[in-house]
Amino acid sequence: MYVLGINPGEHEGSACIVKNGNIVAFSESDRITRKKFGTIFKNNTPIGEDPFWVVPTHLVIGQVLHESNLTLDDIDAIAIGWERAQLGWTAKHLGSEKRIGFGNHVTPSDERFDLKKYEEELLPTGLFPRKKTPSIHFVPHHLSHAASAYYMSGFNESAIIVADGWGDMEGVSLFYGSGKEIEKIQSYIESLGHFYGKAAAKAQLDTQSPGKLMGLAPYGVSCKPEIIELTEEGFSFPYNDTNPHEHNTALDFIFNKTKKYVNPHDPTKKLFDNEGHLLPVMHYADFAASVQKEFERVLFHLAKLVKEKTGSSNLVFAGGCGQNCSFNGLFEALQKDVNFFVPPVPQDTGVSLGAALYVERNEHERTKRMEHAYYGYNPAEEEISRVVHKSGLGFKFLEDKKLIEKISQCLVDQKIVGWYNGRAEIGARALGARSLLMDPRNVENWHRMNEVKGREIWRPLAPSILKEHVADFFDVVDSPLADFMVGAFQVKEEAQSIIPACVHVDGSARPQFVNKETNPLYHALISSFYEKTGVPVVMNTSFNLADEPIVHTPQDAILSFIRSDIDVLVLGNYFIEKKAGK
């Protein structure tokens, strides 16, 4: 049974095809549009209305069908990761010319809902010719998140927490998965995702940069605000606002309590600019630390609550808040009696997967944990060759063994390597398929990599480490979080000076444990670097420049290479190096 899963929401659009519980293909709209979150501006927004941003869903649908060598006539069912019809949905389908505002999208059960018109907007016949349209199933948003984690966890039963901004009128939901079924236990309109996003904006970042706030938090000291009330049934924000998702009361309390003061832990960690002045963002470090602590306090409470309600020693976590690797790593470290899993796509990108898995749940017996995330775009060798030859750049074609030897030496020589090889990873983290790599032994490489990418110099970078050497660097020997780089763990004190470019100010790192079976070429590269240096680690960050998504096509990789100070580019087996002074 082939199921096409779709997230046609207003950001992080995606599509996937699953068969018998296995991912066949997965596509994310931001990779294709080259716009963060995958949205594009619709230029016919009526004057006086808010700008209309839409996800070009047909692009991701077309890609997964092409990658799978399928047409719509091969698809048995379509699963939408929302209960409410979302597609840049306009009220003209309901007899009005004005767009329906967020939160007022119609449900498929609404008598005014016209499924035929929705099908044509979702799957224009000019782009997707077919004999018939497969049946369309609308799966509630948080249920789709829950399914994306539960069915990929390998657990036969589990407690489930979903926490994001907002989806189908819910901010947080608790579920219990047993066998093939998922039961909702409780949901809350209050949003931890909006709380964290608004905090990022208050720290002069922006609401779409919660990851930056998380990276800033270790520079500060928490005031332990405890402003959110924990109850027997969940949690409650203090409301003095007309919009409960603004969270001004809680954030103002935390902000005023921290007094914009920062305690510089370690001046060597680039807390100051070249003239010795404290970086302006560091004034918000205590605020960031306090928000992170409050966020963790609520999630620990919810984890305890859902365990009490289900009796399960397993827990899976999804929704945008599942990208908070600081919480994820801390929870796994402290709750050793709980088996914990977070998928590589906990954010809205993952609801296409969850919806598809839920619709075909009776068609498979999935008992194995998801072990890798390499389900994205994989250009044919012919495409890579054509792009390289047309680029005008000098290149060499090297067989795997010579390529690995050459690139590992480039890393030893302190060069930045753009690594584009094999099938792309899905999700927000680069996992050795679309990565920028450097030597982790030199702390200055942390600073240089951030400058080349156009990132803030204080933001941490991550290590990819050979799985067989993990015990030398971390107390955690095996963790599913490290398969997808969604957990932060403490680096052993004696190892921190070995890979200083990958260690954050609090001694933590967000590692990827590299498995020979799931990415043999990347494993071979790190092994070659290990033979040369005695260090089984490379510094790894996503292959993209500032405000751009991870590179998608070979053309994207070459453009990023040309526009930046990346020294070396690997495209499949093609080796491209900038000449000195170029």
Rounded average pLDDT over 46-57 = 53
Residue carrying structure tokens 């706030």 = 213
What's the confidence (pLDDT) of residue 241? 55
- The pLDDT of residue 271 is 64
Report d(CA 417, CA 426) in Å as an integer. Answer: 21
CATH of residue 531: 3.90.870.20
> Would the pLDDT of 324 be above 60?
yes
Q: Could you tell me if 127 and 159 lie in one domain? A: no
Residue 529 gets the label, from left (phi > 0), alpha (psi -120 to 50) or beta, of alpha
Do the domain assignments include residue 287? yes
What is the spatial distance between Cα 81 and Cα 467, in angstroms, rounded to a whole number? 34
- More confidently predicted of 77 and 582: 77
Indicate the number of domains in the chain. Answer: 3
Token readout for 389 is 């030859």
pLDDT at 445 over 90: yes
137 and 268 in a common domain = no
Q: Output the pLDDT for position 430.
A: 97
For tokens 């096509």, what's the residue? 553
The verdict on 523 and 424 lying in the same domain is yes
Residue 169 and residue 134 share a domain: no
The whole-number average pLDDT for the span 56-82 is 94
Q: Which domain holds residue 244?
A: 155-342
How large is the average pLDDT for residues 487-516? 97
- Report which residue type is found at 521: L
Res 481 pLDDT > 60: yes
Q: Which one is predicted more confidently, 354 or 101? A: 354
pLDDT higher than threshold 90 for residue 525: yes
Mean pLDDT of the chain: 88
Q: What is the pLDDT at residue 580?
A: 62
Pair (215, 304) in one structural domain: yes
What pLDDT shows up at residue 269?
A: 45
Specify the CATH number for the domain of residue 95. Answer: 3.30.420.40
Nearby residues of 251 by Cβ (< 8 Å), 6 or more positions away: 195, 198, 199, 202, 291
Tell me the pLDDT band of 39, cut-offs 50, 70 and 90.
Answer: low
Amino acid at 376: G
Query: Could you tell me whether strands 234-236 and 229-231 are parallel, antiparallel, or unpaired per DSSP bridges?
Result: antiparallel
State the residue for tokens 């944990």.
369
Residue 371 lies in a domain: no
User: How many other CB atoms are there within 10 angstroms of residue 267's CB atom?
Assistant: 10
For the cut 80, the answer to whether the pLDDT of residue 101 exceeds it is no
According to DSSP, the residues that pair with 340 across neighbouring strands are: 315
Assess whether 174 and 304 both reside in one domain: yes
Burial label for 493, CB within 10 Å (0-12, 13-18, 19+), is exposed
In a shared domain, residues 172 and 78: no
Residue 221 placed within a domain: yes
- In this predicted structure, which of 274-278, 412-416, 486-490, 568-572 has the lowest mean pLDDT? 274-278
Residues 185 and 73 in one domain: no
More confident residue, 155 or 96: 155
Q: Is pLDDT at 479 greater than 90 in this prediction?
A: yes
pLDDT value at residue 119: 87
Where among 100, 119, 142 does a domain terminate? 142
Domain presence at residue 420? yes
User: Are 334 and 424 in the same domain?
Assistant: no
Judged against a pLDDT cut of 80, whether residue 182 lies above it is answered with yes
Residues 48 and 186 grouped into a single domain: no
Cβ-count burial of 413 within 10 angstroms (0-12 exposed, 13-18 middle, 19+ buried)? exposed
Element (H, E) at 40: strand 40-42
105 with 165, same domain? no
Q: Domain for residue 185, yes or no?
A: yes
Give domain status of residue 348, yes or no.
no
**313 and 209: one domain?**
yes
Helix pair 285-310, 192-202: axis angle to 10 deg = 170
Residue 269 lies in a domain: yes
